[in-house]
Amino acid sequence: MTLVLSLPQDVDERLQLDADRKGVAKEELAVDIIARSVSKSSAPVPVYDFWSPVPFEALADAQGVEPVGDFKQWLASLPKVEGADELVEHIDQARRERREAERACP
């Protein structure tokens, strides 16, 4: 199916900027946006424009996590890392632990 849209100039420009930022064609981005907006899911999906601020609570909810209550406390809980290799080791270990926990919970 072919659909022709007449977009206001400012919307067209923002769509082009966002497509450039994502490295895709403007038309592909428009198709993706429309496809997501008519999702088969019965749950309402909040739509947030790239240019509009999204509340932290909404971001956390969309990702299935809790927002950080105390940034300093969260930052202190992170392991101290000396270099890129050590960071990769920490990430790999965290992934292994997460996978093991997922396998343990049916």
In the chain, where the domains are located: 7-67, 69-106
Query: For the purposes of burial, counting CB atoms within 10 Å of the CB of 24, is it exposed (0-12), middle (13-18) or buried (19 or more)?
Result: middle
- Report the predicted TM-score, pTM, of the whole model to 2 decimal places: 0.38
Look-up of token digits 């270990």: 93
pLDDT per residue of the chain (106 residues) written in tens, 0 to 9: 788 889 999 999 999 998 888 888 898 888 888 887 776 655 555 565 667 777 878 888 877 888 888 888 888 888 788 888 888 888 888 889 988 888 887 6
